[in-house]
């Protein structure tokens, strides 16, 4: 697992319109990078809507919000349109960034073991260094925890 003080792994992934977005595009800005399991599921929707509700404050704090899941760009487009999500959603079906950030892990649900994305948030500074790692975050409180951290 990545830790604070480590260089954030570089990535280039398509957004909901299919445009390629790289971490390096945001040099000089703080990036709130959150990984989530799946578009339009209850927890992921609550988490995304909480980030959307707080989006103006993230902008005030000069932080870019990026969500990454395995879903397709088309799925992200529908998810963003349905819930009015103003931030960047990136598609990672090949698990490039998901594995680089160590969030593809064994999960247990109702006694069944499977591999999946563990909901994790990273705050990356303007130099591409991880400032904070928030593992196994709760969908309902994640956005507020990140804001609290960014406010200092």
Could you say which of 21, 31, 32, 44 is catalytic? 44
Residue pLDDT, tens place only, 12-61: 999 999 999 999 999 999 999 999 999 999 999 999 999 999 999 999 99
DSSP one-letter code for 19? -
Question: What's the CA gap between 45 and 69, in Å, rounded?
Answer: 12
The residue range of the domain holding 108 is: 12-151
Does any domain span residue 97? yes
The burial of 103, by beta-carbon neighbours within 10 Å (0-12 exposed, 13-18 middle, 19 or more buried), is given as: buried
Query: Averaged over 55-79, what is the pLDDT?
Result: 97
**Is the model's pTM score more than 0.75?**
yes
Question: What's the CA gap between 47 and 92, in Å, rounded?
Answer: 18
Does any domain span residue 104? yes
For residue 49, what is the domain's CATH number?
Answer: 3.40.30.10
Does any domain span residue 49? yes
Question: What's the CA gap between 77 and 32, in Å, rounded?
Answer: 20
Does any domain span residue 7? no
49 is catalytic: no
Domain count, the chain: 1
Does any domain span residue 32? yes
């Amino acid at each position: 697992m990545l830790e604070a003080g480590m260089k954030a792994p570089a990535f280039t992934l398509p957004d909901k319109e299919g445009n390629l977005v790289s971490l390096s595009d945001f040099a000089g800005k703080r990036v709130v990078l959150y990984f989530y399991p799946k578009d339009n599921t209850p927890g992921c929707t609550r988490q995304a809507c909480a980030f959307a509700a707080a989006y103006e404050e993230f902008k005030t704090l000069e932080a870019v919000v990026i969500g990454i899941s395995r879903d397709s760009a088309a799925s992200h487009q529908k998810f963003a349109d349905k819930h009015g999500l103003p931030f960047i959603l990136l598609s990672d079906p090949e698990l490039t960034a998901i594995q680089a950030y160590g969030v593809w892990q064994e999960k247990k649900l109702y006694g069944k073991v499977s591999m999946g994305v563990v909901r994790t948030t990273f705050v990356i500074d303007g130099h591409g260094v991880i400032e904070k790692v928030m593992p196994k975050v709760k969908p309902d409180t994640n956005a507020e925890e990140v804001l609290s951290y960014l406010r200092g």
